[in-house]
Amino acid sequence: MTEQIKQPTGFLGRGPVFWLGMTFASTATIAGLALSEAIENETVVLILLITPIATMFAMFRAMLNKNAAGAGDCVQKGQAQRRYIKRVALFTSLYLATFAALTFVDQLGDVPLAARYVVAALPGCAVIGIFWAIGRLIVEETDEFIRMLTVRQTLVASALALSAASIWGFLESADLVTHVDAYWFAVIWFLGLFIGALANRIEYGTWGAA
Protein backbone atom coordinates (compact mmCIF):
# COMPACT_ATOMS: atom_id res chain seq x y z
CA MET A 1 0.00 0.00 0.00
CA THR A 2 1.53 3.29 -1.11
CA GLU A 3 1.77 5.92 1.58
CA GLN A 4 0.32 9.22 0.44
CA ILE A 5 2.46 12.30 0.97
CA LYS A 6 0.51 15.00 2.70
CA GLN A 7 0.59 18.28 0.78
CA PRO A 8 1.05 21.57 2.62
CA THR A 9 -2.26 23.31 3.32
CA GLY A 10 -0.99 26.56 4.74
CA PHE A 11 2.13 28.59 5.39
CA LEU A 12 4.38 27.93 8.41
CA GLY A 13 1.70 25.63 9.75
CA ARG A 14 -1.04 28.26 9.60
CA GLY A 15 -3.93 28.73 7.20
CA PRO A 16 -5.04 31.86 5.30
CA VAL A 17 -7.55 32.86 7.97
CA PHE A 18 -4.80 33.09 10.60
CA TRP A 19 -2.64 35.32 8.40
CA LEU A 20 -5.70 37.41 7.49
CA GLY A 21 -6.31 38.02 11.19
CA MET A 22 -2.65 38.90 11.74
CA THR A 23 -2.79 41.39 8.86
CA PHE A 24 -5.87 43.07 10.26
CA ALA A 25 -4.58 43.13 13.84
CA SER A 26 -1.12 44.47 12.97
CA THR A 27 -2.49 47.19 10.69
CA ALA A 28 -5.03 48.30 13.29
CA THR A 29 -2.33 48.40 15.97
CA ILE A 30 0.05 50.49 13.84
CA ALA A 31 -2.77 52.84 12.83
CA GLY A 32 -3.76 53.27 16.47
CA LEU A 33 -0.20 54.05 17.52
CA ALA A 34 0.22 56.56 14.69
CA LEU A 35 -3.12 58.33 15.19
CA SER A 36 -2.64 58.55 18.95
CA GLU A 37 0.84 60.00 18.31
CA ALA A 38 2.41 57.25 20.42
CA ILE A 39 4.76 56.98 17.44
CA GLU A 40 5.51 60.38 15.93
CA ASN A 41 8.36 59.44 13.60
CA GLU A 42 6.91 58.85 10.12
CA THR A 43 9.85 56.68 9.08
CA VAL A 44 9.21 54.35 12.02
CA VAL A 45 5.55 54.08 11.04
CA LEU A 46 6.46 53.22 7.45
CA ILE A 47 8.92 50.57 8.63
CA LEU A 48 6.29 49.05 10.91
CA LEU A 49 3.91 48.81 7.95
CA ILE A 50 6.17 46.07 6.58
CA THR A 51 4.59 43.75 9.18
CA PRO A 52 1.02 43.72 7.76
CA ILE A 53 2.40 43.56 4.23
CA ALA A 54 4.49 40.54 5.19
CA THR A 55 1.55 38.81 6.87
CA MET A 56 -0.57 39.51 3.81
CA PHE A 57 2.13 37.90 1.67
CA ALA A 58 2.05 34.90 4.04
CA MET A 59 -1.72 34.73 3.61
CA PHE A 60 -1.40 34.52 -0.17
CA ARG A 61 1.33 31.89 0.18
CA ALA A 62 -0.99 29.85 2.42
CA MET A 63 -3.78 30.19 -0.15
CA LEU A 64 -1.49 28.94 -2.92
CA ASN A 65 -0.41 25.97 -0.78
CA LYS A 66 -4.01 25.08 0.00
CA ASN A 67 -4.86 25.40 -3.67
CA ALA A 68 -1.99 23.08 -4.64
CA ALA A 69 -3.17 20.53 -2.08
CA GLY A 70 -6.76 20.71 -3.31
CA ALA A 71 -7.88 21.95 0.08
CA GLY A 72 -8.68 25.55 -0.80
CA ASP A 73 -11.99 27.31 -0.57
CA CYS A 74 -13.09 29.22 -3.65
CA VAL A 75 -9.52 29.59 -4.91
CA GLN A 76 -9.50 26.06 -6.31
CA LYS A 77 -12.33 26.78 -8.73
CA GLY A 78 -10.40 28.36 -11.58
CA GLN A 79 -7.21 29.63 -13.12
CA ALA A 80 -8.30 33.25 -12.62
CA GLN A 81 -8.04 32.92 -8.84
CA ARG A 82 -4.60 31.30 -9.06
CA ARG A 83 -3.33 34.05 -11.37
CA TYR A 84 -4.76 36.65 -9.00
CA ILE A 85 -2.92 35.20 -6.00
CA LYS A 86 0.38 35.06 -7.90
CA ARG A 87 -0.01 38.63 -9.19
CA VAL A 88 -0.77 40.02 -5.75
CA ALA A 89 2.15 38.09 -4.26
CA LEU A 90 4.39 39.56 -6.98
CA PHE A 91 3.28 43.15 -6.42
CA THR A 92 3.48 42.69 -2.65
CA SER A 93 7.10 41.59 -3.08
CA LEU A 94 7.74 44.62 -5.29
CA TYR A 95 6.20 46.84 -2.64
CA LEU A 96 8.52 45.45 0.02
CA ALA A 97 11.55 45.91 -2.24
CA THR A 98 10.68 49.47 -3.33
CA PHE A 99 9.74 50.46 0.19
CA ALA A 100 13.12 49.23 1.42
CA ALA A 101 14.74 51.34 -1.31
CA LEU A 102 12.72 54.39 -0.23
CA THR A 103 13.77 53.95 3.39
CA PHE A 104 17.41 53.63 2.31
CA VAL A 105 17.22 56.78 0.19
CA ASP A 106 15.62 58.72 3.05
CA GLN A 107 18.51 57.75 5.30
CA LEU A 108 21.08 58.90 2.74
CA GLY A 109 19.75 62.45 2.75
CA ASP A 110 21.88 63.84 -0.11
CA VAL A 111 19.95 62.44 -3.10
CA PRO A 112 18.93 64.38 -6.26
CA LEU A 113 15.33 65.58 -6.16
CA ALA A 114 14.36 63.76 -9.38
CA ALA A 115 15.65 60.45 -7.99
CA ARG A 116 13.70 60.99 -4.76
CA TYR A 117 10.50 61.56 -6.75
CA VAL A 118 11.01 58.30 -8.65
CA VAL A 119 11.91 56.21 -5.61
CA ALA A 120 9.05 57.70 -3.55
CA ALA A 121 6.54 56.86 -6.29
CA LEU A 122 7.61 53.23 -6.71
CA PRO A 123 5.84 51.77 -3.62
CA GLY A 124 2.65 53.50 -4.74
CA CYS A 125 3.04 51.99 -8.20
CA ALA A 126 3.32 48.55 -6.59
CA VAL A 127 0.05 49.21 -4.74
CA ILE A 128 -1.53 50.22 -8.06
CA GLY A 129 -0.39 46.84 -9.36
CA ILE A 130 -2.43 45.15 -6.65
CA PHE A 131 -5.47 47.18 -7.66
CA TRP A 132 -4.85 46.08 -11.26
CA ALA A 133 -4.64 42.44 -10.19
CA ILE A 134 -8.03 42.69 -8.51
CA GLY A 135 -9.51 44.32 -11.60
CA ARG A 136 -8.07 41.56 -13.80
CA LEU A 137 -9.60 38.96 -11.50
CA ILE A 138 -13.04 40.46 -12.00
CA VAL A 139 -12.53 40.50 -15.77
CA GLU A 140 -11.04 37.00 -16.06
CA GLU A 141 -13.20 35.13 -13.55
CA THR A 142 -15.64 32.87 -15.42
CA ASP A 143 -17.58 31.72 -12.35
CA GLU A 144 -20.37 34.28 -11.98
CA PHE A 145 -20.84 33.51 -8.28
CA ILE A 146 -17.16 34.06 -7.46
CA ARG A 147 -17.14 37.21 -9.60
CA MET A 148 -20.13 38.54 -7.65
CA LEU A 149 -18.33 37.87 -4.36
CA THR A 150 -15.24 39.69 -5.62
CA VAL A 151 -17.24 42.71 -6.77
CA ARG A 152 -19.03 42.70 -3.42
CA GLN A 153 -15.67 42.78 -1.63
CA THR A 154 -14.43 45.72 -3.68
CA LEU A 155 -17.64 47.65 -3.02
CA VAL A 156 -17.29 47.10 0.73
CA ALA A 157 -13.64 48.16 0.57
CA SER A 158 -14.39 51.26 -1.51
CA ALA A 159 -17.24 52.32 0.75
CA LEU A 160 -15.10 51.94 3.86
CA ALA A 161 -12.04 53.76 2.46
CA LEU A 162 -14.01 56.63 0.88
CA SER A 163 -16.14 57.05 4.01
CA ALA A 164 -13.03 57.20 6.19
CA ALA A 165 -11.37 59.68 3.82
CA SER A 166 -14.46 61.90 3.74
CA ILE A 167 -15.09 61.95 7.48
CA TRP A 168 -11.43 62.42 8.41
CA GLY A 169 -11.01 65.11 5.76
CA PHE A 170 -13.84 67.22 7.16
CA LEU A 171 -12.65 66.68 10.74
CA GLU A 172 -9.16 67.72 9.69
CA SER A 173 -10.45 70.82 7.91
CA ALA A 174 -12.13 71.82 11.16
CA ASP A 175 -8.83 71.35 13.04
CA LEU A 176 -10.35 68.62 15.20
CA VAL A 177 -7.94 65.82 14.29
CA THR A 178 -4.32 65.53 13.19
CA HIS A 179 -3.22 65.22 9.56
CA VAL A 180 -3.18 61.70 8.10
CA ASP A 181 -1.01 60.79 5.11
CA ALA A 182 -3.06 59.78 2.09
CA TYR A 183 -1.55 56.29 1.79
CA TRP A 184 -3.47 55.28 4.92
CA PHE A 185 -6.69 55.28 2.90
CA ALA A 186 -5.25 52.64 0.58
CA VAL A 187 -4.44 50.61 3.70
CA ILE A 188 -8.04 51.07 4.85
CA TRP A 189 -9.22 49.91 1.41
CA PHE A 190 -7.29 46.67 1.75
CA LEU A 191 -8.72 46.15 5.22
CA GLY A 192 -12.14 46.75 3.70
CA LEU A 193 -11.39 44.04 1.16
CA PHE A 194 -10.78 41.61 4.00
CA ILE A 195 -13.93 42.77 5.80
CA GLY A 196 -15.83 42.15 2.55
CA ALA A 197 -14.34 38.65 2.41
CA LEU A 198 -15.51 38.03 5.97
CA ALA A 199 -18.99 39.28 5.05
CA ASN A 200 -18.99 36.87 2.10
CA ARG A 201 -18.00 34.02 4.39
CA ILE A 202 -20.77 34.78 6.86
CA GLU A 203 -23.51 35.25 4.27
CA TYR A 204 -22.49 32.82 1.51
CA GLY A 205 -20.12 30.38 3.22
CA THR A 206 -17.10 31.26 1.08
CA TRP A 207 -14.53 34.07 1.15
CA GLY A 208 -14.44 35.34 -2.42
CA ALA A 209 -11.07 36.71 -3.54
CA ALA A 210 -9.32 36.66 -0.17
SS3 14: strand
The answer to whether residues 153 and 209 touch, using CB atoms and an 8 Å cutoff, is yes
Domain containing 169: what range?
A: 141-210
DSSP string, 64-119: HHHHHTT--SGGGG-HHHHHHHHHHHHHHHHHHHHHHHHHHHHHH----HHHHHHH
pLDDT tens sequence across 132-189: 999 999 999 988 988 999 999 999 999 999 999 999 999 999 999 888 889 889 989 9
- Is residue 70 in some structural domain? no
Long-range contacts of 199-203 (CB under 8 A, 24+ apart): 199/152, 199/153, 199/156, 200/149, 200/152, 200/153
- Is residue 207 in some structural domain? yes
SS3 11: strand
- Is residue 24 in some structural domain? no
- Is residue 73 in some structural domain? no
Number of structural domains (the chain) is 1
- Is residue 192 in some structural domain? yes
Judge if pTM exceeds 0.75: no
pLDDT tens sequence across 150-166: 999 999 999 999 999 99
